[in-house]
Structure 1
Amino acid sequence: FQGRNIPQFPSSIEWISNNQLSDDRLLINTLACVVALRYWNVHGDKSDQGISFIKENISKLGDASPEHMTCGFEVVFPAVFRVDALVIQDISDVRDQKMKRVPKELLHEVPTGLLHNLEGLGNLESLGKLEWPKILKLQTPKGSFITSPAATCYAIMETNDQDCIEFIQYIVKKFNGGAPTVYPVDIYARLWAVDRLERLGISRFFEPEIKNCLDHVYRYIKCALEIPWYASLPRLEARFYIENYGADDIWIGKSLYRMPEINKERYLELGKLDYNKCQAQHQMEWNHMQQIWSKQKLKELLLAFFVASSSIFETERYGERIAWVKTNILDTRFPHV
């Protein structure tokens, strides 16, 4: 740093030492930290512990499920861990197969997901030498590459770009020497939180908060054409999502982490309470309709009420549901009136 043989971010070295776990947990993160400690020849006991963890677990990669790999693992890991081992070669083969489908010019022309793993692309024969003047034009306005501190650090090593340096300096200061795998995450967190509330069927209880979130970012959701129409009915989606919602889900990026704004046990509890309340109201309405319209064809009546209650599901909108059912029945009975 500045012509002297000292770390550019000394607080990050200390953060590594102070935050090492007893069992390390993540192979690629441990490896990166060991490299940093060994390069600067500090905290030998910490790096020794990390090396022991790597030796004990490297063989397990051959049996690991691809679904459990961190984001871009097959791209980054072979670039960091350059040893002649069968398991590393297998991972490299997976990387090479994926990279064959990526045109080199695409990497240099538009921001793609590969920029998030830029630190793993520097020595790939399939890509050749990276054209940094072009790649630097793909930075975010704050100087990062797809909000990845690791990718941005690699760009600093290769170009010494001042915008990249300022971004990392800001991150290191903000997190006291550490750095998250993605930053900023406010857009992700806001959109995911809104999405969870909507899928759980309880977004109407958070309308002011949702409006604030959506004022911050532009959000547009487009249903895929292959999704059948009935699957987009709010109550059916809420029932499916309640059954599959994970309040303790772990998000897999370049690391494993939780996002409490997105996964909360209280969200799930509220979703279940509201769903059961609405179901009880709908059941009462359905029983009442069968008594009043006993001569009506049951199948026809049930379909009309099902569509109404699946779309206009809020308990306070009873009148709208009844109007929907009556209109639907009349339209079916007298289509030419």
Structure 2
Amino acid sequence: MVLIDGDVVVCVYLLQGFQDSIGRIREKMKGKVEITPSAYDTAWVAMVPSREDSGREPLFPQCLDWIIENQNPDGSWGLQYPGHPLLVKDSLSCTLACLVALRKWNAGDQLVKKGLEFLRSNAWAATDKHQISPIGFDIVFPMMINYANDLDFTLPFHQHLLDSMFSNRHSEIKRNPNLEYVAEGLGESFDWNKSLTQQRSNGSLFNSPATTAAAFIHTQDNNCFQYLHSVLITFKTWVPTVYPIDVYARLRMVDTLQRLGVDRYFQSEIDSILEETYRLWQQKEEEIFTDITCCAMAFRLLRIQGYEVSSDELAAFVDQERFFDTVSPQMGGVATVLELYRASQVQISEEESSLERIHAWTSKFLKQQLLNKTIPNKQLQKQVNYELKNFHGIPDRVGNRRSLELYDMDNYQVLKTAYRCPAIHNEDLFLFSRQDFNICQSQYQKELEQLERWYKDCRLDSLKFGRSVVNISHFLTCAILADPLLSDARLSYAKSIVLVTCLDDFFDHHGSREESLKILELTKQYVNEQPATAYGSEEVEILFTALYNTVNEVAAKAYIEQGRCVKHLLVSLWVEMLTSFMREMDSRSDETPPSVDEYLSFAWLSISCRSCILTSIHFLGINLSEDMVMSPEFTSLCMHVSFVARLLNDLQTFKVRFLLNSSRESASKKEEERKLNSVILMQAAHKDGGGISEEDAIWEIKKIVEFNRRKLLQMVYQRNGSIVPRECKDIFWKTSKIAYYLYSSGDEFTSPQEMMEDMKSLIYKPLELPALATS
């Protein structure tokens, strides 16, 4: 429980309904995976004739009964009523399949009449390119019309519409050689016995009841029968559009909880799901490796959690042309490509060239889809756009807010027909995650008030120079340390950023060398517990006193948390950083600039990641020994994240400097040119050999950034041989996300409009909680 200004923060566990919601969500994670019925697939299973009586009766009459009992009021069959305005094609497909099944067994005359009227009224959608098309619609729907004709079943379609549909069908078959997944739309022309070579161990073709039912009709294969029989044992009177789906659905649950920012409530369940998934991965479970989307998601989630999974399992998808030439339509959609794109982001080794190649083509493909406006699902379109814009740079809570805004409890996915997984998208999770966000936001606002009081108490607001970064510093810490119980971690991190920024501005622009050196000497005296002497200027007094009092305050709180004194460590971090500031100052005045290596030897400290992180980790609720904090592993983590942040800053400020030098007066130009920057130093290092271009220097620096990003990621994910708790290592990775976020479109705290909007969304604007029906 956290105290802010004497008021106990409301603990989310005690809010009315929270425990109940958590319990219901946990039950969904542990229980049987829910999936909505597929009228389309159920109709195909209903069409299977019995093996006796010359096939005059349905082999699965319960499916025919389900069709009779589940027509929608408008005469259609399908996912929901009233139907989604972009899923009319899906309703047409489901309705026609059900009508063919009814006509085949001479059942439900009145239902047939209503169904025909629905087809007549909505026939326009069959060729409408703005509609979301079920996979294989252009092939299967015209073939079902032929099946209806064979049953002397007249359908209410005009000839010009029929001509257009059959023309589309011919083009689609000619264009796509991999149509086994929609083989029920190929009829007698298809080699059904050959299709059985792709039969899975459960007897299905592609885990599709419809395709498997069609295969059984044509081959009488007993394994197909056993599959259909097993599906109906599970679902009784209907079948889903895909089965089994357990592994994929449970991974989607994990991914959804993480994206919504509420995974901390369900960590035990998530651990169990991933442990089981890893066991299946090691056993080469067919359900994972025959589904590209599931495989890519499993790879990403397992690797992030530290499981050793090889990227070789994705090597077959490194080439775009081969990918679309070899995969079935079931796996060639934007959602699958997006999942491969996400998987490419967890590359931890230069040897994983397959992930680099996957990243190259998937990002290009997704950008083209956005440009061509060919993603009809608007939520998916927004998600793709957001993730492409923020590669490596979405701080957790900023991404959570975006996911919460896009979360739809009525969300559907589309294979041969639209379907929903209620365990993933439901009212409980919708309300629970939004309430949790608002509760956290309320606490962030109280913390900001406390941070602003600290800023004034330290008299930092009276300084006549530098950037005022209280709000942004607080926003950034909330973005990576979301848990409401981590208030002290957030505040100590934010205060470190504010102090670093004030001191950095003083050393860089506003203080003399003597004044800067005085602050460093006073801080060194503080290490040895020597009393401060005369300050020399008001600015020095304000800056040092703020540092002195804040370190004392943080050390006192850390003593309560850790049971040991950490003051010496905290002060030494500040001495280390201020020393690096002085080295930067002195190097700028040297006639001979340092080499890139010399520059990086102190510049990684001046970016302040080390002091911010090593201060805040003492408030994560984990006991940390001094040996652990000062271990080589901690040092390596600090160096890698600092190199990433330092060089990203250099790349961005180099662009800023170029613009400034194009517009400022000569004196200002000289001031800007005196600043050390790795891009300029990289160019200078190659002068004797003829020099390298600015573009090549930038490329070299980007390679160093990427090397350190991967090394950092590798250490964060590492389980074996690591002495640093994962909760601590995560702070390093999240700090690197801040760096990518800050330096993507502007110098650190000269915030672009998008960052300001993110800050408003995270700190000030609560999520709406609409009134929903209660059960």
Note whether the superposition's TM-score is higher than 0.5.
Answer: yes
Q: How far 1:15 moved relative to its partner? A: 3.0
Q: Which amino acid aligns with 1:86?
A: H
Alpha carbons of 1:204 and 1:52: their partners in 2 closer, same or farther (altered >3 Å)? same
**For the Cα contact (< 8 Å) 2:202–2:223, is it kept in 1?**
yes
1:287 aligns with 2:449: yes
Quick one: which of 92, 95, 107 aligns to 1:30? 95
Alpha carbons of 1:235 and 1:100: their partners in 2 closer, same or farther (altered >3 Å)? farther
The range that moved more, 244-253 or 28-37, is: 244-253
Partners of 2:265 and 2:169 in 1: CA distance = 45
Alpha carbons of 1:286 and 1:21: their partners in 2 closer, same or farther (altered >3 Å)? closer
Alpha carbons of 1:231 and 1:71: their partners in 2 closer, same or farther (altered >3 Å)? farther
Larger Rg belongs to:
2
After the TM superposition, which residues 1-337 of structure 1 pair with which residues of structure 2 at under 5 Å, given as runs?
1-2=50-51, 4-5=53-54, 6=56, 7-25=58-76, 26-63=91-128, 65-67=130-132, 69-82=133-146, 85-102=159-176, 104=177, 107=178, 114-122=179-187, 129-218=189-278, 219-221=298-300, 222=343, 223=345, 226-229=388-391, 232-293=394-455, 294-295=459-460, 297-325=466-494, 328=497, 330=500, 333=504, 334=578, 335=580, 336=602
Identity of counterpart residues, as a percentage? 29
Q: How far 1:117 moved relative to its partner? A: 2.3
Partner of 2:353: none
Q: Deviations over 1:146-203 (max 9, x none)?
A: 2210011111122222211111122234333322222223233322222222222111
The range that moved more, 202-211 or 43-52, is: 43-52
The range that moved more, 130-139 or 195-204, is: 130-139
Partners of 2:118 and 2:137 in 1: CA distance = 18
Alpha carbons of 1:326 and 1:95: their partners in 2 closer, same or farther (altered >3 Å)? farther
Partner of 1:110: none
**For the Cα contact (< 8 Å) 2:67–2:98, is it kept in 1?**
yes
Partners of 1:38 and 1:130 in 2: CA distance = 24
Alpha carbons of 1:243 and 1:42: their partners in 2 closer, same or farther (altered >3 Å)? closer
Q: Which amino acid aligns with 2:299?
A: Y
Q: How far 1:85 moved relative to its partner? A: 2.9
**For the Cα contact (< 8 Å) 2:68–2:111, is it kept in 1?**
yes
Partners of 2:163 and 2:396 in 1: CA distance = 47
SS of the aligned residue for 1:55 comes to helix
**For the Cα contact (< 8 Å) 1:152–1:168, is it kept in 2?**
yes
Q: Which amino acid aligns with 1:151?
A: T
**For the Cα contact (< 8 Å) 1:144–1:152, is it kept in 2?**
yes
Q: Deviations over 1:290-337 (max 9, x none)?
A: 333452744455444333221112121223324434555549833436
**For the Cα contact (< 8 Å) 2:75–2:117, is it kept in 1?**
no
Q: How far 1:80 moved relative to its partner? A: 0.8
SS of the aligned residue for 1:324 comes to helix
Q: Deviations over 1:29-61 (max 9, x none)?
A: 222222223223344444344334333432453
The range that moved more, 76-85 or 268-277, is: 76-85
**For the Cα contact (< 8 Å) 1:181–1:253, is it kept in 2?**
yes
Alpha carbons of 1:298 and 1:272: their partners in 2 closer, same or farther (altered >3 Å)? farther
Alpha carbons of 1:21 and 1:290: their partners in 2 closer, same or farther (altered >3 Å)? closer
| RMSD, matched Cα | 3.1
Alpha carbons of 1:320 and 1:135: their partners in 2 closer, same or farther (altered >3 Å)? farther
SS of the aligned residue for 1:177 comes to coil
**For the Cα contact (< 8 Å) 2:209–2:240, is it kept in 1?**
yes
Q: Deviations over 1:229-274 (max 9, x none)?
A: 5752111111112222212334444334443211222222222222
The range that moved more, 320-329 or 239-248, is: 320-329
Q: Deviations over 1:70-119 (max 9, x none)?
A: 343223211211377322443444455555543x3xx3xxxxxx544231
Q: Which amino acid aligns with 1:10?
A: P
Alpha carbons of 1:93 and 1:262: their partners in 2 closer, same or farther (altered >3 Å)? farther
SS of the aligned residue for 2:460 comes to coil
Partners of 1:278 and 1:42 in 2: CA distance = 57
Alpha carbons of 1:273 and 1:37: their partners in 2 closer, same or farther (altered >3 Å)? closer
Q: Which amino acid aligns with 1:8?
A: L
Partner of 1:126: none
Any unmatched runs of 5+ in structure 2? 1-49, 77-90, 150-157, 279-297, 301-342, 346-358, 364-387, 505-577, 581-601, 606-775
Alpha carbons of 1:63 and 1:269: their partners in 2 closer, same or farther (altered >3 Å)? same
Partners of 1:136 and 1:143 in 2: CA distance = 9
Partner of 2:527: none
**For the Cα contact (< 8 Å) 1:143–1:164, is it kept in 2?**
yes
SS of the aligned residue for 1:208 comes to helix
**For the Cα contact (< 8 Å) 1:15–1:176, is it kept in 2?**
no
Q: How far 1:283 moved relative to its partner? A: 2.6
Alpha carbons of 1:229 and 1:172: their partners in 2 closer, same or farther (altered >3 Å)? closer
Q: Which amino acid aligns with 1:180?
A: P
SS of the aligned residue for 2:53 comes to coil
Alpha carbons of 1:277 and 1:229: their partners in 2 closer, same or farther (altered >3 Å)? farther
SS of the aligned residue for 1:259 comes to coil
Q: How many residues align?
A: 322
Alpha carbons of 1:269 and 1:59: their partners in 2 closer, same or farther (altered >3 Å)? closer
Partners of 2:444 and 2:391 in 1: CA distance = 21
Alpha carbons of 1:188 and 1:289: their partners in 2 closer, same or farther (altered >3 Å)? same
Partners of 1:101 and 1:300 in 2: CA distance = 57
Q: Deviations over 1:110-133 (max 9, x none)?
A: xxxx5442312346xxxxx54445
Partners of 1:17 and 1:281 in 2: CA distance = 54
Alpha carbons of 1:295 and 1:134: their partners in 2 closer, same or farther (altered >3 Å)? farther
Q: Which amino acid aligns with 1:307?
A: L
Alpha carbons of 1:78 and 1:29: their partners in 2 closer, same or farther (altered >3 Å)? same
Alpha carbons of 1:58 and 1:313: their partners in 2 closer, same or farther (altered >3 Å)? same
Any unmatched runs of 5+ in structure 1? 108-113, 124-128
